[in-house]
Structure 1
Amino acid sequence: MNKINNHSWLHKTTNIVCWVVCILIMAGCNVDEEDSIKEDPYAGGREPLAVKLLSEAPSPESAGPKEKVTFRVSGLAKYTHEEDGTFDFDFYISDEICQIESATDSTLTIIVPDAVSSGTTYLVLENQIFYGPYFKVMGSVSIDEGFEYYKTGPYNGIIRSCVPWCGNTGLTSEFYLCGDFRQAQGKYYGGIAMVNNEKGLLKYGTADKIKITRGIEAGMYVDDDDNLLHAGLNGMEYWKKDTESPRALLYGLFKEYETYSTTLVGFKFKNVLLVNNDLTVKTEKKKFSDFNGKTHEISVPTFVGGTMFTEEITRAFSTADGKIVAVGNFTTHLFTDYDNTTCDANNKLVTADIYTSARSVMKMDEIGQLDKTYRRNPMDDDLSLLGAEGTINDACMLNDESVIIVGDIYKFDGKPIRNIVKLDKDGQIDEEFLSTIGEAANGEINKVTCTSFKDGSGELHERIVIVGNFTTFNGQSAQGLAILNSDGSMNSEFVLKELEGGIVNFAKIVDLNTNGEIAMPHVVISGTFTKYAGVTRQGFLILDMKGDAIQRFNVPGRFYGGLYDAQYSLTSDNTNGLLLTGDFRIFDGKRMNNIVMLKVDLEENTNNEP
């Protein structure tokens, strides 16, 4: 009992002591109050400016160079000096400073610069930035809103190439899209689609154009560990030997194409396929025996050549004599031997394949059989020449059917090279081209395109455009982009101006006047750069053949991503256009899905030209 009382007393005493200590501390604080900080510790800082650049649309809502535009503002009168016509602030459109015409407490009138692209507007006052509305600079290029497919695009994948339909005329524009996209959400196949300039996507099953139901399976298992490769098409080319309803050559990384139809069960394609004009598989009937000795007649593909499942074909080309030239980082040609192929009781094929050495470049006939007169070892025609040492990134074929190959390559057929080589029609290194390019590219080349066009006098010209991580080509400044003549010499007419803020990731020469009598070739460029020739041009350019960014063709705002192809097209209202495809998400202030149609007005408006 006493222990309990003692404990209670000690507890009360402790509480009293703590209470007294707290009072003393508070008293001490009060005593020192006069010596404490009485002022607001944040006082003396910069007060927020009572200025706003309102998000309301300006008047007019869009304008061209040299035109006056009035923006809605608040609180600018204090920083405007009418007596000497000066202003304490600056105004920008897409990072380009504008001449200020006048300002009041509610309006700001500026003059659009001579060289500028569409973009965000902002005002800078006392090192503070006030953002305003996105401003559309008027010119000769704009998004074709009637081509609404840019809002959706193909599902979940990149468009790697865009191929004009063979039946296009001056009044029609239809294209095949090739890539690793899917046909639609929830579908595990695709790789190829078709669009036209008016409706956008055409459905599978369209007669005579894309009469298929599945396309390519999106992924393929390559070993017993269930490792999955992402399948897709790198491109398509029409069969040059056919004049009417030409067949189509598909290539990339795939083994399944329309193979869920009952006639093709068990057959695996080999990354390249020659199909009918409507993209269906060409088949023939053959007899096979099953394991019980019973004979079955089965429809099988006529084209049975290619490469091993994991050896992608980067590019494939059709030749005038009915052959296929394939380029890629492959080592082996694969061919199905129907004579030794069997089947099971359910008509599923058990194929027998022939493997033959073929490195980097090979030629096949129209059933996929290897041409052993092309690029074979002179000592043993079962062995190919050495091919590329390094990595092949891209290739293109010139008019004479010679092939330009680029990449991160240090040797080809045992001969030292610098990332680019030309093979003649027979598949041998073009020594004259090699001599002309000299030091060539001092870094990796990622893309190459070959384009032909006629000048004003009707003379045909051929150009090679290369893009990559190089700064010089044959000792000349290149900034990751160079235009070559077909002999390998640098084209002296084209001079790339200074790029700032990033690199080029795509470039191609496109004739913007395909339906006209006079060609208008321009270089279409994308990249991560932010300025060209000192002017803000964010990721997209249309240059003339001298390398100049003519203002009226360079008014679209920021481009985010990369192009893989650009093609002349009619627009949704049948005027001149430019179809852009690739892997991009933003263009001119709008959300994109890897495809967009641009309207291109070729009539020069001299009123707005600087």
Structure 2
Amino acid sequence: MISSKIKYIGTVILSLLIIYSCQKKEEIGVNPYEGGKEPFGILFTSNRADPTTALPGEVVRVSVRGLKQYENKFDLRLNEVSTEIVTLSDSTADIRIPAEVSSGIVTVIMNGQIFYGPWIGIEGKVSVDRDYKIVNGFNSTVMGILPHAGGHIVVGNFTDFENELQGGKYLTGIHYINSLGQTSNDMDFRRRSNSGISSIVRLSSGEFMIGGFFTEFSKRKVDGIARLLPKGSLDTTTVAVINPFPEDKPLDGLDTVSSFNSGFINGLVSKVFETPDKDIIVVGSFTIHRKIDYQYSSRDNRRYVNTRVRNVAKLKPDGKLDSTFNLNNSGLNGFINDAVCLKDGRIVIAGAFTNYNGKSVRNIVCIKPNGQVDDSFTNVGGTDLPILSLTYNPTNDKLVIAGAFKTYGGKANNGVVILNTDGTEDQSFKMGDLDGESPNYAYKLNNGRVLVTGFFSKYNGVRRSGLLILESNGVAKQEYNNLGSFAGIPLTITETTSSLGNPAILLGGSIFSVDGYNVGNIVKIEIKN
């Protein structure tokens, strides 16, 4: 049936191509440019400016022919910002870098036509760390970055890193890179997961807990959650199981299984956290917790004990479900986009929902360590539209929410709000105008500045292409906003140092390019003090 349908579609397309080609034969001799605009003879003769980078106020020369004859009749711009022409000749134009501008391309606009010139980098305190050795990066989304032993454990939906995947190598879902951004063998994840990993946390015991979409790790059955040993391999144990054929297969009475006997189905695990009392909190879209009863299981057939638990669950260190926490509750009536764990063990969840366990909430809710809603946090009020990003920095004890919303707690804002841990707004920060666009991610750095990304092109009327480093009050200083366009959606961040020892951030997500450089879903950005 499908094969016949494909053949039919192919025949139709072939017929249309024959008809179209016959029609085109009748038009031979027609000037394809007839009616077009007259050419002006403007041409950039070099794709490099002199110098290639500069500070605001400095003069840069670009090689361009044909402009002199149209003096005062065109607009020369840098990253779409009108630029002063200091000197103009038949072959060059000396331009002064505007006081407020980010890295970008020089263009000439003449009578509605655009002529593209070289890229000019704007110097400042923010730059892509080109000494970090990542070139091709990960082939799909990075969802978590965990600092560990001088390097970083990276988890996500990827299956390859730096095109290193070859026969006998396993790279799905989790990878360890050293301080230089290169693959390190200091961790051994064996055969890794069979699908994406969305979250990782290091436990106080030195082991790791991971959560995600996977159903296997190292070829062992798990359902969205697993515990790894300090070196990265799955924590396993040997259990006695039913052996249906003891005479033919005497070894089938024992099985090596995941030591953490817990799993979640009917949805995904988004986040895993360790609480101050060393329990595990799991957040996601799941509705069922399951464990395996090995007493009535064989190697090939498992007996599962299922318990209804929706969106949030608490597990003991051995994987046993905490029956006093959020059991048989209705959960959320919408979608989770993000979640964080505060110092005191409370969990804050954000996304697109209006109800949690029968309580009215607006896209954000705080859950106490006993599983109950923290009414003092929720009563402050939520947002009028969904929250896309929720981040928490334990160093300054601040949360940041970002999205297309225009109000929080009934008060107007521009899609980014810094919150205290009681749910109240930090009034010292005021997000500026994004010219009708909205942010997709925000985070308050250790030094108090605020990172904001999104699909915006302006901030308070100044050209800023998708990435902002704002002061603690929301002001965008030129020296921290010199980077060119940012294309992508961050999902995770960790603060580190650059190759020169300056403060830096390692940003992961679905990230394609930053400041003219292609990046593979992970990038290190230096942010000098």
Q: TM-score range by the shorter chain?
A: 0.7 to 0.9
Superimposed CA distance per residue, residues 189-242 of structure 1 (whole angstroms, 9 cap, x where no aligned partner): 51011122314232xxx24xx21222111xxxxxxxxxxxxx3111101113x2
Distance 1:548 1:560 in 2: 22
Q: Which has the larger radius of gyration?
A: 1
Residue aligned with 2:376, SS: helix
Residues 48-447 of structure 1 aligned to structure 2 (within 5 Å): 48-80=39-71, 87-149=72-134, 151-155=135-139, 157-165=140-148, 167=149, 172=150, 174-183=151-160, 184-185=164-165, 190-202=172-184, 206-207=185-186, 210-217=187-194, 231-240=195-204, 242=205, 246-259=206-219, 267-293=220-246, 296-308=253-265, 310-343=266-299, 349-376=300-327, 384-437=328-381, 440-447=382-389
- Of 459, 484, 497, which aligns to 1:532? 459
Match of 1:551 in 2: 478
Distance 1:126 1:284 in 2: 74
Distance 2:223 2:180 in 1: 35
User: What is the Cα deviation at residue 188 of structure 1?
Assistant: 7.2
User: What is the Cα deviation at residue 46 of structure 1?
Assistant: 6.1
Distance 1:43 1:590 in 2: 39
Superimposed CA distance per residue, residues 384-432 of structure 1 (whole angstroms, 9 cap, x where no aligned partner): 2221122222211111111111121121111121111111111101111
Residue aligned with 2:158, SS: strand
Q: Check conservation: 2:240, 2:294, Cα contact below 8 A.
A: no
Over 3 Å counting, the alpha-carbon distance change for 1:44 and 1:470 in structure 2 is: closer
Please say if 1:476 is aligned against 2:405.
no
Q: Check conservation: 2:52, 2:119, Cα contact below 8 A.
A: no
User: What is the Cα deviation at residue 450 of structure 1?
Assistant: 1.2
User: What is the Cα deviation at residue 565 of structure 1?
Assistant: 1.6
Distance 1:353 1:45 in 2: 71
Give the aligned residue type for 1:255: T
Q: Check conservation: 2:242, 2:296, Cα contact below 8 A.
A: no
The answer to which of 561-570 and 249-258 deviates more is 561-570
Q: Check conservation: 1:197, 1:571, Cα contact below 8 A.
A: no
Residue aligned with 1:117, SS: coil
Distance 1:482 1:44 in 2: 52
RMSD: 2.2
Match of 1:36 in 2: none
Give the aligned residue type for 1:416: S
Please say if 1:599 is aligned against 2:523.
no
Stretches of structure 1 lacking an aligned partner (at least 5 in a row): 1-39, 81-86, 218-230, 260-266, 344-348, 377-383, 454-460, 512-519, 603-610
Superimposed CA distance per residue, residues 143-189 of structure 1 (whole angstroms, 9 cap, x where no aligned partner): 2222231x21123x210111111x3xxxx4x1111111003546775
User: What is the Cα deviation at residue 521 of structure 1?
Assistant: 2.7
Superimposed CA distance per residue, residues 323-361 of structure 1 (whole angstroms, 9 cap, x where no aligned partner): 101111221110112222223xxxxx5322111111121
User: What is the Cα deviation at residue 317 of structure 1?
Assistant: 0.8
Q: Check conservation: 1:501, 1:531, Cα contact below 8 A.
A: no
Stretches of structure 2 lacking an aligned partner (at least 5 in a row): 1-30
Distance 1:97 1:319 in 2: 53
User: What is the Cα deviation at residue 286 of structure 1?
Assistant: 2.5
Give the aligned residue type for 1:365: K
Superimposed CA distance per residue, residues 565-597 of structure 1 (whole angstroms, 9 cap, x where no aligned partner): 222222234443221211122221122211112
Q: Check conservation: 1:235, 1:252, Cα contact below 8 A.
A: yes
The answer to which of 323-332 and 461-470 deviates more is 461-470
Distance 2:35 2:326 in 1: 80
User: What is the Cα deviation at residue 599 of structure 1?
Assistant: 2.5
For normalisation by structure 1, the TM-score amounts to 0.76
Q: Check conservation: 1:198, 1:571, Cα contact below 8 A.
A: no
Match of 1:467 in 2: 402
Give the aligned residue type for 1:138: E
Distance 1:580 1:47 in 2: 47
User: What is the Cα deviation at residue 285 of structure 1?
Assistant: 2.6
Distance 1:105 1:64 in 2: 26
Q: Check conservation: 1:197, 1:569, Cα contact below 8 A.
A: no
Over 3 Å counting, the alpha-carbon distance change for 1:46 and 1:190 in structure 2 is: closer
Over 3 Å counting, the alpha-carbon distance change for 1:531 and 1:44 in structure 2 is: closer
Residue aligned with 2:394, SS: strand
Q: Check conservation: 2:221, 2:258, Cα contact below 8 A.
A: no
Residue aligned with 1:547, SS: coil
Residue aligned with 1:215, SS: coil
Residue aligned with 2:114, SS: strand
Distance 1:43 1:212 in 2: 64
Q: Check conservation: 1:510, 1:567, Cα contact below 8 A.
A: no
